[in-house]
A and B are shown apart, each in its own frame.
Chain A
Amino acid sequence: MYGKGLRPLSIATVAAIVASLSLVFFYAPLDADQGFIQKIFYLHVPLAIVALIGFVVGGVFAIAHLRSGNSRWDAYSYVSIHMSVIFGVAVLITGSIWAKASWGHWWVWDEPTLVSFLIVFLMYATYYPFRYAIEDRERQARYASVFAITAGAFVPLNFMAVRMAQSLVHPRVFATTNGGLPGSMMLAFLASLLAIGLLWVTLVKFELTAKSASGQLKRLRRALDAPAPGGRSRVAPEVS
């Protein structure tokens, strides 16, 4: 079921990535202040936005799981958080490269944007040991959902805190006054955001499909291990 539509989605993602890279490198002008280094912005910022939204989405799926008790939502929540953690690794690495190129340091501790993202990332890094420390599967899913909701609520709070913290090092480039992005840069940025968002959705769908196949395989094993009454097949009908 999860594999449905994966191929067109993958094609759309690749097309969006190619289009966004073309816009970033051949259409958007060089930044007057940072020059070519600023091209990292079109990768780093969309990755961060998509990762943070992914964490919140994981929390929303966790709410659906707790409300309905349907473990399908737990799987959605798990995969959303998993993918956002991977994107979070990319955010931290690309951010460090950008910091080294711009500021001469791989990491700056007095910059609230960096430190707050690191806190969010480390918080979600504890999701895995927390989840798998619980053996009972129902409790594991329930506690993981509580974690996902609590941590997901923390993400927008963290975002607002950073916005309120005035810093000259991380200017708010989306403001309409003083430092707003010009149209061509904004177009390239939005194209990048769309491409990274599509990539996140595609990879989530890909992982859900793989987990679905793995789960069906286990059911097939159980069905084949069980005695077949009346010689009728107990193999799950959806697996051919």
Chain B
Amino acid sequence: MLALLAATPALPLDEAGKYVAGAYVVFLALIVVYVAIMAAKLQRIERELSELARFAETRSNGGQTAPGRGGEEPSISDSLAPHGAEEAAPYE
């Protein structure tokens, strides 16, 4: 890897270098922030799913309601999804 880097031609990182680097870093940062937000959402889904799995296992023992927001009004984060789509469950 180091040999490959050594063989590559040097980039003219003078005055222009900081602008070019800035443009590419901003783009990379945007993508990283987006992926981090999506990863956090997926973690929440995974956590809620494991909660529901535990609930489903113990459900036969009593008349509980599902944990979380099942029978409640949707939260703010729920409302950010395209509502019509989720209500009609189009993702199957």
* A contact residues around B92 at 8 Å (CB): 1, 216, 238
Count CB-based A-B contacts (< 8 Å): 151
Q: Are A43 and B27 in contact (CB under 8 A)?
A: yes
Chain A: minimal CB distance from B5 (Å): 11
Instruction: State the Cβ distance, A22 to closest chain B Cβ, in Å.
Output: 9
Provide the A2-45 mask, 1 if CB < 8 A to any CB of B, else 0. 10000000000000000000000110001000011101100110
B residues in contact with A98, CB < 8 Å: 19, 23
Chain B hits for A43, CB < 8 A: 23-24, 27
Within A96-137, the residues touching B (CB, 8 Å) are: 97-98, 100-101, 131-132, 137
Would B16 and A37 count as touching, CB distance under 8 A?
A: yes
B62 within 8 A of A: no
Known contacts A74-B84, A75-B91, A225-B65; is-contact A36 B17 (Cβ 8 Å): yes
Which of B19, B38, B49, B70 contacts A210, CB < 8 Å? Answer: B38
A71 with B70: in contact, given A40-B19, A206-B38, A211-B91 (CB under 8 Å)? no
Residues A36 and B12 in contact, CB atoms below 8 Å apart: yes
Instruction: Kindly list chain B residues whose C-beta atoms are within 8 Å of the C-beta of A35.
Output: 12, 16
Bound state CA distance, A128 and B83, in angstroms?
Answer: 12
Task: Tell me the minimal C-beta distance from B16 to chain A in angstroms.
Answer: 4
State whether A132 touches B79 (Cβ < 8 A).
Answer: yes
Please name all residues of chain B whose beta carbon is closer than 8 Å to the beta carbon of A78 when the two chains form the complex: 82, 85
Residues of A within 8 A of B19 (CB): 37, 40, 97-98, 100-101
In the assembled complex, the Cα of A121 lies from the Cα of B49 at a distance in Å of: 37
Interface residues of B (CB under 8 A from A): 8-9, 11-14, 16-17, 19-20, 22-24, 26-27, 30-31, 34-35, 38, 41-42, 45, 48-49, 52, 55-56, 59-60, 65-66, 68-71, 78-92
18 A-B Cβ contacts within 8 A? A36-B20, A40-B19, A40-B20, A43-B27, A74-B85, A75-B85, A86-B34, A90-B26, A101-B16, A137-B87, A211-B86, A213-B42, A215-B85, A216-B89, A217-B48, A221-B52, A221-B70, A233-B56
